[in-house]
Amino acid sequence: MSFPHRHHWRDAALAAAARAATFIADEARAHREIPWEAKSATDFVSRVDIGAEERIRDTLRQAIPGLRIVGEELGAEDHPEHGLVAIVDPLDGTTNFLHGFPSYGVSICIAADGRPVAGVVHDVARGGVYHATLGDGAFVDGQRLHVSPITDPLRALIGTGFPFRDTSYAERYLGQMQRLMPLVSGMRRAGSAALDLADVARGRFEAFWEHWLNPWDHAAGLLLVREAGGRVTDYEGRDARVIGGPIVASNGPLHDWFLDILNAA
């Protein structure tokens, strides 16, 4: 299936992400003065999240008439696997942003009937604009991305995300960490799944996993990894879908080994 408008969709996502990123960067100068609102005991939102999403919605709707939007802060308008949908995280890594920790960004994926076609991840704090379109490869600041060539687990650096919202998964997650620790060169948890997946696509991580991610957490990153030559699946090895769930991403050669370790725990 071809998507002749995919480059237009990508360019619209790039423009929307840039507008949101500029707003976020301006607000970051006074991040300690921004009020927090609790979505749950350990999950927060701010007026910056809302303002960034509003800017993204306005930009995308002007560029792509009829586009439906699934976003973290202003609510889902429809199922992410039905029709042409933008799956948006206006500020992935809100807690990092509110603390001034430099790992947060903007994530936008345009999906057609559940298939990611165009994706953008804008690293606001560290710099770098990642984008991909289906079948055309993945790029950062104009440079083509390739996943890591490392095949030896002992040389692998693994990214992850803690189950901080639902701690019922904590025991299994800690078991996975315990099994992995002596087998890899290190593990990192930076707090933005979109940027973690971009780091897999870029070859900074050989693999990444998180027990549960929402559509807006991973949809754009999913496309980046695949277009850079990697794999993204669930724990059973089935291709990950934009609806969310467990996410296991890798450079490809380490994927089956990684799945075996995670499932054994």
The per-residue pLDDT for 43 is 47
CA–CA separation, 5 and 187 (whole Å): 39
Backbone angles phi, psi at 165, to 5 degrees: -80, -45
For residue 257 the two structure tokens come to: 């080994």
**Within this chain, do residues 124 and 184 fall inside the same structural domain, yes or no?**
no
Interval 82-97: pLDDT, tens: 899 999 999 999 999 9
**Within this chain, do residues 111 and 208 fall inside the same structural domain, yes or no?**
no
Provide the CATH number for the domain around residue 70: 3.30.540.10
The per-residue pLDDT for 181 is 96
**Coil, strand or helix: which one is 167?**
helix
The β-bridge partners of 76 are 70
Of the residues 144, 173, 204, the one at which a domain ends: 144
**Within this chain, do residues 121 and 17 fall inside the same structural domain, yes or no?**
yes
Is beta strand 157-161 parallel, antiparallel or unpaired with respect to 137-140? unpaired
**Within this chain, do residues 117 and 242 fall inside the same structural domain, yes or no?**
no
The per-residue pLDDT for 166 is 72
Residue 31 has pLDDT above 80, yes or no: no
**Within this chain, do residues 165 and 140 fall inside the same structural domain, yes or no?**
no
**Within this chain, do residues 230 and 105 fall inside the same structural domain, yes or no?**
no
The per-residue pLDDT for 36 is 61
State the residue range of the domain holding 33: 6-144
Of the residues 144, 169, 187, the one at which a domain ends: 144
CA 102 to chain centre: 16
Whether 36 is covered by a domain: the verdict is yes
Whether 90 is covered by a domain: the verdict is yes
Name the pTM for this structure: 0.93
**Within this chain, do residues 10 and 138 fall inside the same structural domain, yes or no?**
yes
pLDDT (mean) for 151-170: 89
The per-residue pLDDT for 246 is 95
Residue 260 has pLDDT above 80, yes or no: yes
Q: Nearest 5°: CA angle at 224, between 21 and 139?
A: 70
Q: Does residue 175 contact residue 160 with C-beta atoms inside 8 Å?
A: no
Going by pLDDT thresholds of 50, 70 and 90, the confidence category of residue 170 is confident
Residue 186 has pLDDT above 70, yes or no: yes
**Within this chain, do residues 205 and 167 fall inside the same structural domain, yes or no?**
yes
Lowest mean pLDDT among 28-37, 99-108, 194-203: 28-37
Backbone angles phi, psi at 110, to 5 degrees: -100, 120
Going by pLDDT thresholds of 50, 70 and 90, the confidence category of residue 225 is very high
Interval 4-28: pLDDT, tens: 999 999 999 999 999 999 999 998 9
Q: Does residue 87 contact residue 108 with C-beta atoms inside 8 Å?
A: yes
Amino acid residing at 68 = R
**Within this chain, do residues 128 and 233 fall inside the same structural domain, yes or no?**
no
Of the residues 111, 144, 177, the one at which a domain ends: 144
For residue 78 the two structure tokens come to: 């429809």
| Mean of per-residue pLDDT scores for the chain | 92
Q: Starting at the edge strand that comes first in sequence, how are the strands of the sheet with 143-144 ordered? A: 75-76, 68-71, 84-92, 105-112, 115-123, 129-133, 137-140, 143-144
Q: Nearest 5°: CA angle at 107, between 103 and 108?
A: 170
What are the Cα distances from residue 193, in Å, to 94, 123, 146, 148? 12, 12, 18, 18
Whether 1 is covered by a domain: the verdict is no
**Within this chain, do residues 140 and 10 fall inside the same structural domain, yes or no?**
yes
What are the Cα distances from residue 239, in Å, to 29, 32, 230? 40, 40, 11
* All residues at 6 or more sequence positions from 58 whose CB lies less than 8 Å from its CB, including other chains: none
Could you give the number of structural domains in the chain? Answer: 2
**Within this chain, do residues 81 and 196 fall inside the same structural domain, yes or no?**
no
Provide the CATH number for the domain around residue 232: 3.40.190.80
Whether 30 is covered by a domain: the verdict is yes
Interval 35-82: pLDDT, tens: 666 554 444 567 888 899 999 999 999 999 999 999 866 555 557 888
Whether 224 is covered by a domain: the verdict is yes
What percentage of the chain exceeds 70 in pLDDT?
A: 92
**Within this chain, do residues 120 and 171 fall inside the same structural domain, yes or no?**
no
The per-residue pLDDT for 46 is 78
